[in-house]
Amino acid sequence: MEKSDAIGALGALAQDTRLDIFRLLVRVGTDGLPAGQIGARFGLPSATLSFHLSQLKQAGLLACRREGRSMIYAARFDAMNDLLAYLTENCCQGRTADCLVPVCAPAAE
């Protein structure tokens, strides 16, 4: 991961609502959730939700797919793991065997 990508991802997550949305989608797993369910969960108007989802997607943290008339958003676990790896690449004074940084690999449905 490039430094600029890490800054973009961290910037997107540095806002309460976006962090809450991302954490929800991580819990949900690879199936994701329709935008309407995300908005209802947080009580967000459509325009506000769209803005936050767009910011997370632009930062590379979300994937989006269309199912019928719904837009389904899911966390990009590869991007999350890349960010974690970037943040911890120099941990433990370079002794990576001493650092057990978890990697999230949700089971595919």
Q: Is the pLDDT of residue 91 over 80?
A: no
Q: Is the pTM of this model over 0.95?
A: no
- Convert the chain into a string of H (helix), E (strand) and C (coil): CCHHHHHHHHHHHCCHHHHHHHHHHHHHCCCCEEHHHHHHHHCCCHHHHHHHHHHHHHCCCEEEEEECCEEEEEECHHHHHHHHHHHHCCHHHHCHHHCCCCCCCCCCC
Q: Is the pLDDT of residue 35 over 60?
A: yes
Region 47-63: what's the mean pLDDT? Answer: 98
- The fold adopted by the segment(s) 3-89 is Arc Repressor Mutant, subunit A (1.10.10)
Q: Is the pLDDT of residue 102 over 90?
A: no
**Higher-confidence residue: 93 or 72?**
72
